[in-house]
C-alpha cells in the first residue's frame, strides 16, 4: 500500500478489518483464510511529540467518580471528572452532552451540565479536566440506550458507573491543536462492579 507524501505524518496506529487479507490459494498452510480484525500502535519517525496510540488532540486518560457528602457524611451526589492528556480550552466550554457514563447493565447516562473546567495545571479541577455532576438516562435510539430507565440518574446510579466515554470533538486543545477523538476509560472511585 502506498499513500501520498505527508498523509501519514501524524499517524499513531494502523488497523485492518476482518478478511481484508486472504491467504494464498496455492499455500496449503494458509488454506485461503482471511485475517481477523486487528490494530497496533506505531511510533512515527516523522514526529517526536505524539505517543503511539495517542493523537495530537486531547485524549481521554481517566474518568474518576467522586462522592459529594453532606455534613452527616451521607452521599448526596457524585461528580465525574474526565481527565485528558493535555490542557483544554480556553475556547468554548466542552459540550456537556458529549460526556457519557455507562452502568454495569449497559445503560448510558448523558451529562446534562453545567460542566466545569479548571483554569490552570495546579487548580482543582486542572486545565486538563472536565467535571460533570448531573446526568440523565439516554433514551435515544431504538431500542433505548437505557432500557426502561428514564429521566435524571440518582446519586447511587451515577456512583455505580463502570465506564466513562467522550464523543469526538467534545473538547478543544488549549494549544489550538485538534479537538479530541472519541475515547473510553474505566471509572475509578465509584461503587460499580463490571459484569462479564
- In this predicted structure, the answer to whether residue 33 has a pLDDT above a threshold of 70 is no
Q: Which helix (H) or strand (E) holds 157?
A: helix 155-159
> Does the residue 103 lie in any domain?
yes
> Does the residue 180 lie in any domain?
yes
Average pLDDT, the chain: 83
* Structural domains of the chain, count: 2
> Does the residue 32 lie in any domain?
yes
Give the pLDDT of residue 171: 93
Give the pLDDT of residue 38: 64
My answer on whether 146 and 131 are in the same domain is yes
The whole-number average pLDDT for the span 152-166 is 95
Residues contacting 187, CB < 8 A, separation 6+? 63, 64, 65, 80, 101, 161, 162, 163, 164
Which of 44-53, 130-139, 167-176, 181-190 shows the lowest per-residue confidence on average (mean pLDDT)? 44-53
> Does the residue 194 lie in any domain?
no
My answer on whether 36 and 75 are in the same domain is no
> Does the residue 193 lie in any domain?
no
Closest CA to 60 of 79, 80, 82: 82
Return the higher-pLDDT residue of 36 and 80: 80
Q: ω into residue 105 within 30 of 0, thus cis?
A: no
- In this predicted structure, the answer to whether residue 187 has a pLDDT above a threshold of 70 is yes
pLDDT digits (tens, 9 = 90+) for 47-56: 545 566 678 8
pLDDT digits (tens, 9 = 90+) for 57-71: 899 999 999 999 999
Length of the chain: 196
Full domain range(s) for residue 79: 60-188
My answer on whether 137 and 118 are in the same domain is yes
Give the pLDDT of residue 13: 74
Which CATH number characterizes residue 113's domain? Answer: 2.60.40
When pLDDT is cut at 50, 70 and 90, the band that residue 122 belongs to is: confident
Amino acid at each position: 500500500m502506498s499513500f501520498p507524501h505527508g498523509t501519514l505524518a501524524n499517524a499513531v496506529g494502523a488497523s485492518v478489518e476482518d478478511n481484508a487479507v486472504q491467504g494464498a490459494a496455492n499455500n496449503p498452510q494458509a488454506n485461503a483464510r482471511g485475517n481477523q480484525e486487528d490494530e497496533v500502535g506505531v511510533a512515527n519517525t516523522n514526529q517526536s511529540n505524539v505517543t503511539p496510540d495517542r493523537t495530537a488532540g486531547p485524549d481521554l486518560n481517566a474518568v474518576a467518580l467522586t462522592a459529594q457528602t453532606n455534613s452527616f457524611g451521607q452521599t448526596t451526589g457524585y461528580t465525574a471528572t474526565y481527565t485528558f492528556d493535555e490542557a483544554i480550552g480556553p475556547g468554548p466550554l466542552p459540550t456537556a452532552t458529549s460526556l457519557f457514563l455507562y452502568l454495569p447493565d449497559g445503560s448510558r447516562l448523558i451529562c446534562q451540565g453545567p460542566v466545569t473546567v479548571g483554569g490552570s495545571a495546579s487548580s482543582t479541577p486542572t486545565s486538563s479536566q472536565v467535571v460533570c455532576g448531573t446526568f440523565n438516562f439516554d433514551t435515544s435510539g431504538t431500542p433505548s440506550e437505557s432500557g426502561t430507565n428514564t429521566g435524571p440518574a440518582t446519586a447511587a446510579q451515577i456512583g455505580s458507573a463502570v465506564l466513562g466515554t467522550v464523543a469526538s470533538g467534545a473538547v478543544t486543545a488549549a494549544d489550538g491543536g485538534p479537538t479530541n477523538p472519541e475515547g473510553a476509560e474505566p471509572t475509578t472511585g465509584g461503587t460499580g462492579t463490571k459484569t462479564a
